Amino acid sequence: MAHVEPQRIPLILTQENRDETTKFDARIINAYVEKDQSGDVWVVKRPGLVINSSIGASTGRGVYNWRQNVYSIRGATLYKDATPIAGTVDTTNGVYTFSACLGATPKLFFQNGVKAYTYDSGAGLVQVTDAQYPSTAVKGVAYLDGTMYVMDIEGNIYGSDFNDPQSWTLSNLIKAQVEHDQGIATAKQLVYVVAFKEWSTEIFYDAANASGSPLAPVQGGKLSYGCRVAESVQDMDGVLFWVSATRSGAVGVMRMENIKSQTISTPSIERLLQGVDFSVVYSWNAKRNGHKFYGITFKNSSLTLVYDDTTGEWAQWTDPAIVGNYMSIVSSTITVDSQESLLQDESDGHIYTLEHSAYNDEGQLFTVDIYTPNYDAKTKKGKTVNKLYPIADQTAGSILQVRYSDDDYETWSNFIEVDLSQEAPYIPDMGTFKRRAHHLRHHCNTAFRIKYLEWHGLLGVL
């Protein structure tokens, strides 16, 4: 056997999985990827959740920043900051989507695909009962040039009276009918209304028509990608994200900016999407530490996928359970004062901020797991590891657990602990392998950032 120069084992290239499960291959959980100026890639522990507002414990149904106040729906009650608003809202159809209008009396407008409501300081909470409002409206809303737009399941786009979402006129209607598929969700992109349907998407602009709907279709403004589920649609700084669907059966994730779309899901992510349960879906977005995150949860599959729009990489995030679970965030907005991201929890309606300096979720530790790709040093020869060095930040109180699999993720060794407070921590005598995957686990109330593993040892013969 011959000594070899120290070899660096990459932690992860991108989220990988060979089938519809997360049992095999490389992935990161409760972390994200960051590239430094030298080009090195770090895996960084995700920010923790810090309580911003807790009022009782009722199901979270949506949160929105409007006119220097944060409005949230918890159970059947609308709150203005911490103050409950008289009246109740429908609780039969999950999370609400919000918008607002100007005019002499600015109004907050929100709907859940079953019922719609407005709120203003004079009239309070009022349900929209105009007979011209669609009874089969899909989720989502777009406010454009004084008109509130919603769509129904048949692809009809209805417009409200000018700056008055309590009043709707039947003639203010245009149909998204390039394709005959059903309506799924409505959104806004720049100065356009976006109509998401089952397998197609159509774009409309304000043509200022003298009669009927002010809208007209954008010529060529049609995508052959629809929306798999309305609850996946998110608007982050004017960029739309959603889970797409096509007639061919493909399911992916799309990004739309300046009404130009691109697929951001990798083949590995799309394999996961083929196997998930779409019956209960939540999504959210947040910006923190120079990264923009789009999160989507498939509750009944216990899976939360998070896309980093800054790096283009995917990860899984979970709640504090040491065995993987979903992250129960249902809605997001920003704070009034510091413009930080606010995230609302499904189970109790509590509202959190993401804090880089918080290393737990409201006092409960969450676990960072890193599964590396299989590594063979580009040779079939046996490798004997005399020492394995984790190249990570030196942090007091930070313990890293390491184990390995030499049979393609089927079985694992016992965890070995490494004290990352040491200047050059290492694990001795890690045995011999031909191809090996590593599992790194961090479950401490500390910061955690790691770049790679480095092994020192011998190279054998075939």
pLDDT tens digit sequence for 168-219:
999 999 999 999 999 999 999 999 999 999 999 999 999 999 999 999 999 9
pLDDT under 50 in the chain at which residues? none
pLDDT in tens, 6-32: 888 888 767 777 766 777 788 999 999
> Would you give the distance in Å from CA 160 to the centre of its chain?
31
Burial class (CB in 10 A: 0-12, 13-18, 19+), 181: middle
Q: Using CA atoms, how far apart are residues 305 and 301, in angstroms rounded to an integer?
A: 11
Q: What is the DSSP string of 164-198?
A: EEEEEEEEEEEE--SS-PPEEEEEEETTEEEEEES
Domain 2-46+369-459 part of CATH 2.60.40: no
Return d(Cα 374, Cα 408) in angstroms, integer.
7
Predicted pLDDT at 203: 98
Per-residue model confidence (pLDDT) at position 24:
76
Which regions of the chain carry the CATH code 2.130.10.10? 48-365
What is the pLDDT at residue 11? 84
Q: Which pLDDT score, from 0 to 100, does residue 66 have? A: 97
The pLDDT value recorded for residue 462 is 58
How far is the CA of 130 from the CAs of 102, 105, 164, 165, 371, in angstroms? 20, 18, 11, 10, 55
Neighbours of 117 (CB within 10 A): 24
Half-sphere exposure of 51 (CA within 13 A, CB side): 9
Q: Please, where in the chain does CATH 2.60.120 lie?
A: 2-46+369-459
What superfamily would CATH give domain 48-365?
Answer: YVTN repeat-like/Quinoprotein amine dehydrogenase (2.130.10.10)
Its pTM stands at 0.95
